[in-house]
Every structure is written in C-alpha cells, then in structure tokens.
Amino acid sequence: RARLGESYTQPERVYRVCKARGMSYVTISDHNTVEGALRIAHEPDTFLSVEVTTRFPEDDVPLHVLVWNLGEEDHRDLQPYRPSVYELVAFLRERGLAHALAHPLYRMGPPLTASHVERMMLLFSVWEGRNGARSRESNELACRLAAAVTPALLAALADKHGLEPSHGGRIALTGGSDDHGALDIATTWTACRAGTIDEFLAGVARGEGSVGGAHGSCSYIGLSLRG
C-alpha cells in the first residue's frame, strides 16, 4: 500500500548466495516482472520465472501463480489472461509452461473459503507445499489438503463446481524461499533428481520432487522485513 518494492536485493547477489548454499539451479520469480531474472539469465544453471498475480473472477479473490522456464514472449502474452485464473491456467497449459500455485492458503484479499480451495484443487497439479515466508502450520495444512486429492475427489468436485479438472488427480509439491530481504535466500528449496532444467521441472510436475528447508515464522518474517 505504501508502494514499497517487494525486494531490494540485487539479482546478482541472489545468484551468488544460491550457488554458495548448494543450489544446482537458480531462478528468481518476482511479482509480475521478469526483470530480475533477466539480469542473471547469462549465468550458468538459471532459468526465467515469474510469480503472476491472478484472480477468481467471480469474487475478485487473488491468487499467485509461479510460472517457470518461460520466455519473454510468454510473459508478454500471458498478461491479458491475468484477470481470470481459469483463462490463465488454460493459457499456461496450452503453451506447455510449468507452473504451480504459490502459498495456497495465504490470504491476500477477501477471505478464502472451502469453495476456493476446492477449485484450486481442480486447477493446479502442483502446489507450493513449503514457503519460507509462511508458517509451518499453514504450509503443513496445504500439504495435507494436496495429499487428500484423488481422481475420485476431483470428479466429485468437477461436478460440484461445473469445472473441468486441469490434471488427473494427484497434486505434487514444490518449495521456495519467498525471500524479500536477503536473509532467507535458498533456505527453502525443491529437490528432484535430474540432469537438466527441463528434466528437473518435468520431475517436479510428476511428483518426483521433495521440499526441504525452513518454514517461516512471525519473528523470522519480521527480521526479513527490516532487511
């Protein structure tokens, strides 16, 4: 609301710290811009990403969607679809772009309801199960909800909401630091056995990855904000 930037950390520093802390691959997913990721795109083991702000059009409830390994053209082309999460997901699937629902239970506007969560289950086959800026309780609840999804449940939810599922019935998990102040860089991560970035993202989408590292807390977030 004060129009402060969400992060003042130099992208080059993010890259150096990530590699120093043992990350095989590095990406920066800023909100609705790829500028930071482009500044390290020349470095080895990097790929372009963005965190897209979108909404449930029925009631203006916002969501954040992580989109990985996209191109600058993809980023430009997705902008008209941001007002509707349904249209955005359809676009991402048509382009074959790897994506995930970020911090599923974090309220950013009007209250989240069971109906919103059920539609999230239908729309996204990958959820962020560990976010370094969200509490352990919130992260673990998101993981339990994701684990509860089955093909039978999706079929029932599709009938309930009149919404075609975007996947076959299993939700994979990913993790990320969600760092805003340079203290949490690469302290939360996703691991998956792979030899290339494409193999890594494909493995995550298949549910072959695992999440590791720190959860957030009130005191830890407070320190980050001072950064």
pLDDT in tens, 33-91: 999 999 999 999 999 999 999 999 999 999 999 999 999 999 999 999 999 999 999 99
The counts of H helices and E strands in the chain are 9, 7
pLDDT score recorded for residue 7: 78
User: Could you tell me where the beta strands, DSSP code E, fall in the chain?
Assistant: 49-56, 61-68, 98-101, 126-131, 172-176, 188-191, 210-213
Mean pLDDT to the nearest integer, 95-123: 96
Tell me the percentage of the chain whose pLDDT exceeds 90: 85
Q: What is the pLDDT of residue 221?
A: 37
Q: What is the pLDDT of residue 223?
A: 34
Tell me the three state secondary structure of residue 135: strand
Strand partners, 189: 212
Average the pLDDT over 102-116 and give the result.
94
Mean pLDDT over each residue of the chain, to the nearest integer: 92
**What sign does the dihedral 77-93-49-109 (CA atoms) show?**
positive
Q: Measure CA 58 to chain center.
A: 22
Which of the residue ranges 78-87, 131-140, 217-226 would you say has the lowest mean pLDDT? 217-226
pLDDT at res. 227: 28
The confidence score (pLDDT) of residue 116 equals 97
pLDDT of 218: 55
Confidence band for 1, pLDDT divided at 50, 70 and 90: low
pLDDT of residue 217: 67
Answer with the residue of higher pLDDT: 136 or 3: 136
Q: Give the C-alpha separation, 208 to 5, whole Å.
A: 35
**Region 139-167: what's the mean pLDDT?**
97
Average pLDDT over residues 208-224: 70
